[in-house]
Structure 1
Amino acid sequence: MAKKAWIARNKKRKELYEKYKDKRQKLKEEGKWEELQKLPRNSSPTRQNNRCSLTGRSRGFIRKYGVSRIKFRELALDGKIPGVRKASW
């Protein structure tokens, strides 16, 4: 389980991104780079991390399912992800 502060920080970054998304896009189209730099750093989409929705783990994230590799394996073996089963040959 990731630290609560890391999860909260990432959530705050997502909220800031949503708040400034339109303004950021408008400034980029107009080419006003100085004003763009004055926006909060955390409002940039590249500052966000992909995190597991169950544990908050940032590494080993599987984008298609929104969970880390560890939780993905547990859920797949329990049969909770439709269409996924363990490979054998």
Structure 2
Amino acid sequence: MVNQIHRDKARRLLYHQQELRRVECLSIIHDLSIPSEVRFRSLQRLNQLNRNGSRTRFRNRCIATGRGRGVYRFCRLSRVSFRRLASQGLLMGITKSSW
């Protein structure tokens, strides 16, 4: 589990390092007023960038356990951790519903 967390952190760091180059290449590729050979060179540069630097490679993970599934975006906790913390009364404003 720890290895997956470190891998995801490394991907996020790589994304932030390559973000400007990636956006630059994509804007050149999509601009049809630029000559096709320049656009093609920009496409090759984009393909040479590391794949792990892509935004689609990250995974939302629980900040408490590192679980990759069932993670709520608003608090970045997995459903299991959220329920455990809520049951202990550690989350403000969260009450168990009953009707």
The CA distance in 1 between the partners of 2:49 and 2:26, in whole Å, is: 12
Offset, 1:21: 0.9
Any runs of at least 4 consecutive aligned residues in structure 1 with deviations exceeding 2 A, and if so which?
none
Map of 2:3 onto structure 1 = 5
Aligned ranges 1:1-89 → 2 under 5 Å: 3-31=1-29, 32-89=42-99
- In our comparison, the structure showing a higher alpha carbon Rg is 2
Structure 1 residue 38 displacement after superposition: 1.0
Task: Give the secondary-structure state (helix, strand or coil) at the position aligned to 1:85.
Answer: coil
Tell me the distance in 1 between the aligned counterparts of 2:43 and 2:74. Answer: 34
Q: What is the number of residues matched between the two proteins?
A: 87
Judging by fraction of residues, say which structure has more helix: 2
Task: Percent identity, please.
Answer: 39
**SS of residue in 1 equivalent to 2:21:** helix
Q: Aligned letter for 1:82?
A: M
* Equivalent position SS for 1:46: helix
Runs of 5+ unmatched residues, structure 1: none
Cα RMSD between the aligned structures? 1.0
The one-letter amino acid paired with 1:21 is E
In the other structure, the counterpart of 2:33 is none
